[in-house]
Amino acid sequence: MNEQGLKKDHFGYYNFKVILIGDGEVGKTSLIKRYVFNEFLTDYKATIGSNLYVKDIKYKDKDVKLTIWDIAGQQKWEIMRPVYYRGAHGVLAVYDVTNEESYKNLLTRWLDELKILKKTFKTIVIGNKIDLGDKIFAKDEELKEKFNFLAHIKASAKEGDNVEEAFRVLVEKLVEK
């Protein structure tokens, strides 16, 4: 264990579980695929339950392994989602900048689900799909009050804008504690 209380696994990695939450069709899977594989798929396929991705990165002098959970946003999976949240270190809370309903749901339904666990997560809020135009209905003050987020980043999984940055900021906050 080091001075920050971080533990390395037997391969020398610092392991962090990161979950992506938000309504269906906000681009959670696309953000992950852009980050992990540097690809963007135009066909939409709803996530069933959850999907798991792993990415090894170097942050400063540390080897970090991110286990990234892509969690289904459709309401029919609501009962299962808290199971996937357990053990998470960080959250990327995603909304679609062209869909105000997805933003409102982030502040209500998704926040309520996280509160069930009675744990404070390091959270980055991502407004995705800026390539389609930003309707500017998200308010940092409102987000800060409800989510106590670390950063609010506007991104485009399609173009790759700020995707790496969102994950980098989260990793920085997880490692630096």
Q: Where are the domains of the chain?
A: 14-176
Q: Tell whether the model's pLDDT for residue 77 goes beyond 70.
A: no
State residue 72's pLDDT score.
80
The b/e string for 28-60 (b: 16+ C-beta within 10 A; e otherwise) is: bbbbbbbbeeeebeeeeeebeebbebebeeeee
- Residue 158's φ and ψ, nearest 5 degrees, are -65, -50
Q: Check residues 72 and 155 and name the one with the higher pLDDT.
A: 155
Q: pLDDT class for 81, splitting at 50, 70, 90?
A: confident
pTM, full prediction: 0.88
Helices first, then strands: H and E counts in the chain: 6, 6
- Say yes or no: domain 14-176 is CATH 3.40.50.300: yes
* Phi, psi of 153, rounded to the nearest 5 degrees: -120, 130
Average pLDDT, the chain: 87
Indicate the pLDDT class of residue 44, thresholds 50, 70 and 90. Answer: confident
